[in-house]
Amino acid sequence: MGVAVIFPGQGTQGPDMGGPWRDHPAWDVVVRAEAALGEPLAPLLGAASVDELARTRDSQLSVLLTSLICWEAARPLVGNPVAFAGHSLGQVTALIAAGVLSLEEGIRLAALRAEATQAAADRNPGKMIALIGADESQAVEVCNAAGDGCWLANDNAPGQVVVAGTPDGIDRATKEAEAAGIRRVVPLRVGGAFHTPLMAEAAEALAGSLAEISLSAPAAPVFSNADARPYSDAEGWRERLAAHLVSPVRWRASAVAMVAETGASAFIEIGFGSMLAALAKRATPGVPVHGIGDPADVSKLASAVGGVGAPPTGDEPPGEEP
């Protein structure tokens, strides 16, 4: 029975998300990350509110670190996954977990990625909206009708698509979506139009940083957000990670492909929250999802047969962050 390991992205952060792990051996991940960046990171994992993680860099590092702590604790129990994948920022987490990036270089790359995207967002302001009840083709029609400054950003699951663009472009897209009868339009609390051409400066900056890091072949194929294809090489990720910043996240297609192409019969979501479990229930109904978000979840995984085949966790609606 094959397991695909999946990691969440920005938008899943929450208060004290790392708190339950402070006395766990896996907390050593934080110690190593702090040494790699030369700064304290533990306070991010004990933030009292989401508002304390409002900065892009803080929110992304908090999500990445919590996921890596969870992976460190769950890894011995997971065995040999048939695939790895991560949503947006989670793709960096997946590459660390799969061994393409070392923990130290992955942490440094994530920090640079966050800084580059925030700088691009500051110079090219943008907004994002979730179109609830829409599919990809409807989202593209909305963007086309809105004119310049609006693009597909995330195809997350059936009925959950995100578009992003300039403030004027998204204002027009909101009106077009309402006129088209799309069930609900939800503005997202994000700092820019991620995964669109407005991130071109960030992609260029990240490409320069990627040229300097070491990459290794993954332990199992890692699925790319941009084309929903599995890759078992190392070097190609230099280009994929940079292009990823200006390309839509094709998460629905990735989830379907992980089941169809690798034989994955269960997902294990590693990290805080259960956004990906909710998306998987829409994109791949019938495929179980087990979540590892705190030490108690690891105990449940240990008591299950390899943690595979456990029932899905959480019944909340699909996440609305990119």
Distance from the Cα of residue 295 to its chain's centroid: 21
127-190 is a CATH 3.30.70.250 domain: yes
CATH code of 2-122+198-303, in short, is 3.40.366.10
Among this protein's residues, is 195 annotated catalytic?
A: yes
User: Which is catalytic among the residues 59, 67, 88, 274?
Assistant: 88
Topology alike, domains 2-122+198-303 and 127-190 = no
Q: Would you list the DSSP string of 151-218?
A: EEEEEEETTEEEEEE-HHHHHHHHHHHHHTT-SEEEE---SS-TTSGGGHHHHHHHHHHHTTS-----
Q: Where are the domains of the chain?
A: 2-122+198-303, 127-190
Q: How far apart are CA 20 and CA 299, in angstroms?
A: 13
For residue 256, pLDDT over 90 is answered with: yes
**pLDDT tens digits, 115-131:** 999 999 999 999 999 99
Among this protein's residues, is 88 annotated catalytic?
A: yes
pTM: 0.92
**pLDDT tens digits, 4-46:** 999 999 989 999 999 999 999 999 999 999 999 999 999 999 9
Q: How far apart are CA 264 and CA 143, in angstroms?
A: 34
User: Which is catalytic among the residues 59, 67, 195, 274?
Assistant: 195
Q: How far apart are CA 253 and CA 102, in angstroms?
A: 27
